[in-house]
Chain A
Amino acid sequence: MSNVLGTVNPVETITAMAHRVGAAVLVDGAQAIRHQRWNLEQSEIDFFCCSGHKMMAPTGTGILYVRPERWNQMEPAILGGGMVERVFPEYVTFAPMPHRLEAGTPNIGGILALARAADYLEELGLEELFRYEGELTARLENILSELPGVHVLGSPEERVGVVSVTAEKATAADLAAMMDKYGVALRAGSQCAQPLLRSMGLSGVLRFSTAFYNTEAELEQVGQAMDNCLTHLRRWSQ
């Protein structure tokens, strides 16, 4: 899933195409982990990673899934305690997976919190969250697209989680700064996706994200606040 456009990519189709030419597939699921259920054991994906802070867990935590058929190909990138089996002056043998990839003292508190965050989301009801957030995202897209001079980026068949926009006569940075005053936290800039933005002829966009703790009333407030900010900034950008 694109962190800029919210586009849901056909991962299984891409994976099958990659495998036909002998390529391995790593899916960066940092965005998608909160918006769809993944059954990796039944998938053909080779590697899947995601970050904990996108799923209500502390920063600095994350998950790397490695398909069992790939385990023997994994070489440690970081050396340290707990990941070796036997050490000799001339050579070392590594512990079995996953320990060989987990050198040193783990982030025990963070990992426990990550597991609790996953349980928390399950307890809320993932399918219900996905449905509700989908409604919010669609409503948000409508609200933003109705603002004069605001352009919603992309028109994917399926958009989840985020809506990015550009606005005439107002930069993303200015809008984010002003919207912050209204209590709306937005991300302005390249969204860590410079090649994508460059291909669209853009250098910065304003990204809105919805989550289960948002309400439709809040989305209406966002639309009103955006309208105020645009009016104000455009007065000065003449």
Chain B
Amino acid sequence: MRGTIAQEQEEFIQAFNAIDDWLLQYDFLLALYADLPLLPEKLRTDDRLVPGCVSRLWLDCRLEQGRVRLSLAADALISGAIAGVIVRLLDDRTPAEILESRLDVLTATPLGEELSADRFRGMEQVIARILAFAGQQISSSFS
């Protein structure tokens, strides 16, 4: 059975922080990204572009059977891989689970330090976009 967002986040933080070599940390991150199904080319449209990223990063959010499904693609491997960590944690969750989550993965690991200020804002936009989408689903369920 899959763990909660908090449990999976803690597992990632512990595994990532246990690696004491930056190149191996990159490998760990990029290996996870390589396993992630990427957003198909035809869906990499301007409306899916996340603002604030130095390189282009597309994020697709959709609702399937009451669960939020997320897909991304990025020009740059490292930005994509870091956004991929967020997507892995929040994909296939209910909107309520996403809204109740608290993501510290960028600050509890050196991931945040890997990012320039521009890229950090880009990652915050990724999280904000997913939270906004989850919030819209909750709102529309009451209307």
Chain A residues with a Cβ under 8 A of chain B: 171-174, 177-178, 181, 188-189, 203-204, 232-233, 236-237
Contacts and interface: CB of A to CB of B under 8 A. Distances in A.
Contacts of B116: 177
Give me the 4 closest cross-chain CB pairs, A-B, nearest first. A173-B76, A171-B76, A173-B55, A236-B30
A125 B29 CA distance: 48
A126 B23 CA distance: 40
A203 B55 CA distance: 9
Given A204-B55, A236-B34, A173 B22 contact: no
Interface in B24-42: 26, 30, 33-34
Classify the interface of chain A: helix, strand, loop or mixed: helix
A177 B22 contact: no
B114 A177 contact: yes
A24 to B, nearest CB: 35
Contact of B26 (A178, A189, A203, A237): A178
B78 interface: yes
A174 B23 contact: no
Residue among B56, B78, B116, B119 with max Cβ neighbours from chain A (10 Å):
B78
B9 interface: no
A157 B114 CA distance: 38
A236 B79 CA distance: 13
A144 B102 CA distance: 44
A236 B119 CA distance: 20
A142 B56 CA distance: 30
B77 A236 contact: yes
B76 A174 contact: yes
Contact of A173 (B23, B33, B34, B78): B78
Nearest to B29: A236
Contacts of B77: 171, 174, 233, 236-237
